[in-house]
Chains A and B, each alone.
Chain A
Amino acid sequence: MDSKRNSMITDKTKKTKTAKTGTMEGFIFILILSSIVLSLVSGIVYAKSDLTSGSHGSDGDTENIIDGKSSGTTGNGETDRWFDRVDEWTDYRTEEPIYYPCSRCHDRMETNTTVRTLKDAHITVDLKHGGGILWCLQCHNADDRDTFILYNGKAVGFDNPSRLCGKCHGQIYRDWKDGIHGKRTGSWEDDGEKNVFQCIKCHNPHDPAFKPIEPEAPPDEPAKSPTVGELPILVFLGIVIFLGLVLFAVRR
């Protein structure tokens, strides 16, 4: 009799115990399952979405720069802002001197070799070459204005201006002939068709120093956290941490 009652009591307690643990386990199980499902769902949503740069800065900038209007990107001989030397003596596109031959006027004039700043003519030429230590007749041939003059007295024609630059800038002239200095477009092959830019294509002989220019836009900065892609992980972690706290509070 007693044993039966005892067993009934034990059975009851067993039952209640099972019932309690059953509910708790079931609750936790459902929470874990739902967090996995939620993570999967948000993962699929993320994968289907176009990950566009929501938090990136420069929006309009990129479009403007690649629309072909920006200078110097085509490299087919079209010039950048400071290739645009509007110089009085040569058209930079055709390389044809505008007031050539110079002897047309200078044959009728007396040669004045006094170093001075010209006031009556050629006033558009702002001679900055050499920081003020040069004047016209150090490059232009005093005896024949259709040519330039070298240190040994030889004359160089307008068709070979780089040789004149080599008069003082010898190392750069040699580097230019080797292709180390200066810009070239076309073929990398030795005997390929190359477009070798003359010195004066980039440098204004009267003011050769390059002026600073505006740079193109910087790259987009990386997105700040958290991003859409981190959503499923955050959801899962959040639920796991919440569960852990709940369990800790309950189990004590």
Chain B
Amino acid sequence: MPDGKSKITRRRFLKKMAQSAAIIAIPGLPPGTTMGEILQWNFKEMTPEEKREAVERLERRYREQFKKDVTVKTTPAREDVLFGYALNIKKCIGCRRCVYACMKENNQSRDPQIQWIRVLEFEDGTMNLEESEHYYKPEEVPEKGHYYMPVQCQQCENPPCVKVCPVQATWKEPDGIIVVDYNWCIGCRFCISACPYWARRFNWGVPHIPADELNTSTHYLGNRPRMKGVVEKCTFCIQRTREKGGRYPACLEACPVGARKFGNLLDPNSEIRKVIEKKRVFRLKEELNTEPKFFYFMD
């Protein structure tokens, strides 16, 4: 139609469509996904305004999906902080309390099951990671003649996963945490094949979390509920550790024997620094030069 009215109508109509259309035709997308969420750019390049819009869209979608009010934080890294983790394999008893505390805190899918932490069981005197037992199920732990080593993302300083990502959906934050922008990840899984520690998990199916077990205090780069087709992994509980009066990660607080230690590597008085100075620490697959910030020690 040549008259001016319909031109405006058409433009407005298209704009409205772009902003608010709910895409349900594409399989795997969660209900409530808008065009705005699909068209948003990489988190690293968002302006504060765009970040706010992205958070609003996500909070709206989560409210529709879980019928709960979920807060999505975008807390940035703190100055002069580089997080490090240490785990005492002499103390670990292989009880897996850390695995399930992590699942609950970080909204991991129950079905299909995703667990960011994997506890390996070794026979005393061996340390062959490829021959460790993942599915041990004795009556009681620790089993005689065995020791245990939980493995999660080692938050490498020289991460191979970041190098191989074709779209830069995963990167190293200034405080040392390797993060994933779930809306930018294309699900190619190069990072999973690059990681020497098998730290990353892929959402092969639509993740399911019962709404009453949902942790509503989330971070955009951390524990917010994910979608089918994206990669996820341990983020040192970014939603807890970055906050004011930073809290310990959930796995540390769940450990009944106090085997886990966490802190700021740049603070000479921190617990993690004392561990590194006073105990025999080692890292996994040191020869690959990934420079993990996850240390293991004995005492």
Contacts and interface: CB of A to CB of B under 8 A. Distances in A.
Given A181-B299, A185-B248, A215 B137 contact: yes
Contacts of A13: none
11 contacts: A44-B27, A47-B28, A66-B103, A73-B101, A75-B252, A178-B274, A214-B141, A215-B96, A215-B137, A216-B96, A218-B134
Residue from A74, A186, A219 whose CB has the most chain B CB atoms within 10 Å = A219
Given A180-B275, A215-B141, A51 B112 contact: yes
A216 B95 contact: yes
B282 interface: no
B135 A219 contact: yes
Contacts of A52: 111-112, 205, 208
A180 B261 contact: yes
B247 interface: yes
Interface of B: 27-28, 93-97, 99-101, 103-104, 110-113, 115, 118, 134-142, 204-206, 208, 210, 213, 228, 241, 245-248, 250, 252-258, 261-264, 267, 269-271, 274-275, 278-279, 299
B112 A188 contact: no
Interface of A: 44, 47-53, 56, 62-63, 65-67, 70-76, 80, 82-83, 175, 178-190, 192-193, 197, 202, 210, 212-221, 229
B134 A188 contact: no
Contacts of A221: 135
A183 B98 CA distance: 13
A215 B119 CA distance: 11
Contacts of B134: 218-219
Given A51-B205, A65-B100, A219-B118, A180 B256 contact: no
A44 B25 CA distance: 12
Residue from A47, A83, A210, A216 whose CB has the most chain B CB atoms within 10 Å = A216
B247 A215 contact: no
Contact of A73 (B110, B118, B254): B254
A184 B248 contact: yes
A47 B204 CA distance: 10
A62 B250 CA distance: 18
Nearest to B94: A215
A213 B94 CA distance: 10
B262 A216 contact: no
A188 B256 contact: no
A48 B27 contact: yes
B95 A73 contact: no
Contacts of A74: 101, 253-254
A190 B270 contact: yes
Given A51-B204, A182-B258, 12 more contacts: A62-B110, A62-B111, A65-B100, A71-B256, A73-B97, A175-B299, A179-B274, A180-B279, A212-B93, A216-B96, A219-B118, A219-B134
B241 A188 contact: yes
A49 B245 CA distance: 44
- Among all A-B residue pairs, the 3 with the closest Cβ atoms: A75-B253, A51-B205, A183-B258
Contacts of B261: 179-180
Nearest to A227: B204
A72 B27 contact: no
Contact of B110 (A66, A76, A197, A210): A66
Nearest to B110: A62
Contact of B104 (A66, A212, A218): A66
